Amino acid sequence: MRTCDASIRSWWAWAVRQMSLGQTTVRAVTSSAERRIAVWIHASRPPALEAACQFIAALPKGFEVLVVPDAREQIQQQVPSARLVDITYQALPLAEVIVVFGGDGTILRAAERALESDIPVLGVNLGHVGFLAELEMSQMPELVDHVVLGDFVLEHRMTIEMELIPPGADTPSWRSVAINEVSLEKAARTKMIDCLVSIDGLPVSRWACDGLLVSTPTGSTAYAFSAGGPVMWPQLEAYVVVPLSAHALFARSMVLAPQSRVHLDLLSGVDGVVVCDGARVADVPAGSRIEIRRYSHDLMVARLSEQPFTSRLVKKFALPIEGWRGKG
């Protein structure tokens, strides 16, 4: 997956376009002496800084490393020989992969930038659950070897986009992309919102509730899981609508086809807020509509091997797979 000269970049762009959704092993070799990778960390967290420095120091000569501007000076002090440049919107698409040291929140922020640049993201877990992470800090030598060889397995993850259309307007006032979920929530703690949910232009249910989530398979193990939504395997092409504390007999999660479109109409005089991936927020006046659909770009998650999601699920949630039923 080395993309250092024009011919390799051209091959890589073609290969990405040709890949089907799911897991695809990518191995590419180039004779160019200059290669670029990106390293993303939460600059104010010492363990992340230490891990990033350890990784960069282990890279052989010939690598240019893109880093977050807040951490560049600190990394340069600890790894004086490293060739560092700031991560920018112009430079990031030239990188082979973005390696992230942190928890799922940090990986998610980096993944948003990787999505815009059409490059894979590879996470090293420094948090607690770490569903988006591929490996732990103890596997650092293995990580360096795979980055140097450009040897990854890519998981393609479906993403969604949303538009906020204010009352009486025909055009959106705010847009955003989400990797995990779009969340419509009540703005006032003491009141519920009144929301009509429509699928493909047809009304499905009207809920008085605390809010609604529209989640991707990637986000199904995050906010949606905590709200009682189903666990969805990440390669699944579908997304789910999850009501939050709805006052209704029918208040079940609904799993939708990837081509479906979701409309959330905020009906009553109670205002709301919309939150994308827990980071980007916009006010939603009563009478507004939120339109949600599949985004045209998939997130590419780089993994070092074809580890089944089932194994990660059991490990991250410490699910009991042995017991008295299995004895004998």
Active-site hit among 5, 70, 86, 104: 104
Token pair 């112009």 is at which residue?
A: 90
The one-letter amino acid code at 123 reads: G
* Start-to-end Cα distance in the chain: 48
Instruction: Concatenate the DSSP letters of all residues of 226-277 into one string.
Output: HTTPPP--TT---EEEEEES--SS----EEE-TT--EEEEE-SS--EEEEET
- Helix ranges (H only) for the chain are 6-18, 46-58, 69-78, 104-117, 140-149, 223-226, 309-317
86 close to 67: Cβ distance less than 8 angstroms: yes
- What number of residues does the chain have? 328
CA dist 214 and 216 (Å) reads 7
Task: Examine the residue annotation and report whether 104 is marked as an active-site residue of this protein.
Answer: yes
37 close to 9: Cβ distance less than 8 angstroms: no
- Please say whether the dihedral angle defined by the alpha carbons of residues 105, 106, 107 and 112, taken in this order, is positive or negative: positive
CA dist 192 and 195 (Å) reads 9
Task: Take residue 226 and report the two structure tokens written for it.
Answer: 């905590």
Gyration radius of the chain's alpha carbons: 21
Neighbours of 170 (CB within 10 A): 6
DSSP 200: T
290 close to 184: Cβ distance less than 8 angstroms: yes
Active site residues: 104
